[in-house]
Each structure stands twice: as structure tokens, then as C-alpha cells.
Amino acid sequence: MSIDTNWDKRLAALDAALAKGISDADAKRTKPAEEVFDRLEAKYRELAEGQALTQPHSRD
């Protein structure tokens, strides 16, 4: 496979992803960014707190 063929496939995949995103936005299949960020923040805070409880503490 040549570099150009790989590049063409990557561009086609990007075009398809952009078209899907635009289609979703046009069809109102979106969520407000603040809602998404709040959900992600809560998710990763919970993961971090869980790791803090299970990680052994190092002694300096």
C-alpha cells in the first residue's frame, strides 16, 4: 500500500466522520458541552478517588 493510498483512506474516513457529525448536529442529536464536561468530570473524579483508595502509599 502506498503512502498516497493510505492518505486517501484516512481523508475518506475523516470526511465520513465529519459528515456524520454534521448530520447529527442537524438532527439535534447533540448535548450541551457543559453537560458532557460535568459527566466526564464526575466520571474521572470517581475513578481517581477509587485509585487513591486502592494504591499503596509510598513512604519517603
What sign has the CA pseudo-torsion 40, 43, 44, 46? positive
Tell me, yes or no, whether 60 lies in a domain: no
Tell me whether residue 25 is in a domain. yes
User: What's the whole-number mean pLDDT along residues 39-52?
Assistant: 93
The domain total for the chain is: 1
**Cβ distance 24 to 30 under 8 Å?**
yes
| Domain interval for residue 18 | 3-54
17-36 pLDDT per residue, tens:
999 999 999 999 999 999 99
% of residues, the chain, pLDDT over 90: 73
**Within a domain: residue 8?**
yes
Helices (H), 27-54: 33-54
